[in-house]
Amino acid sequence: MKTIDYSVNGWTVGLLYTVLLMLITVYVRKEKVFLPALISLAIGLFTLAASFVVAAALDPWAGIGVGMLAAGLLACTIVLFIFAFAMKLLRKGAK
């Protein structure tokens, strides 16, 4: 039971989300290397906006919880943008 608890904690889910989007970044076309990062940024911003809606309409504590999810998504997105920028530089240097 502890292995299930360790495999679905917040750090693991965030790491797997980041690795998935990094792999998509590696295998996407060379011209659209920032597309997965931009999609992740859009998801993070929509989640942040949803946290304000939830806080105003339902429960402020639930809004804080959704806001924490948005903060985690945006942190993973920053790592993804750095990775995409490095991939773009490496691909440009390989030519």
Q: How confident is the model at residue 11 (pLDDT cuts 50, 70, 90)?
A: confident
Decide which of 7 and 76 is more confident: 76
Q: How many domains does the chain have?
A: 1
Where in the sequence is the domain holding 31, given as residue range(s)?
A: 2-94
Q: What is the pLDDT of residues 14-72, one digit of tens each?
A: 888 999 999 988 888 778 889 999 999 999 999 999 999 999 999 999 999 999 999 99
pTM above 0.75, yes or no: yes
- Which pLDDT score is estimated for 90? 86
What is the rounded end-to-end Cα distance, in angstroms, of the chain?
A: 50
Distance, CA of 65 to CA of 48 (rounded, Å):
10
Element (H, E) at 28: none
- Which pLDDT score is estimated for 36? 92
Percent of the chain that is helix, strand, coil (3-state, to 5): 90, 0, 10
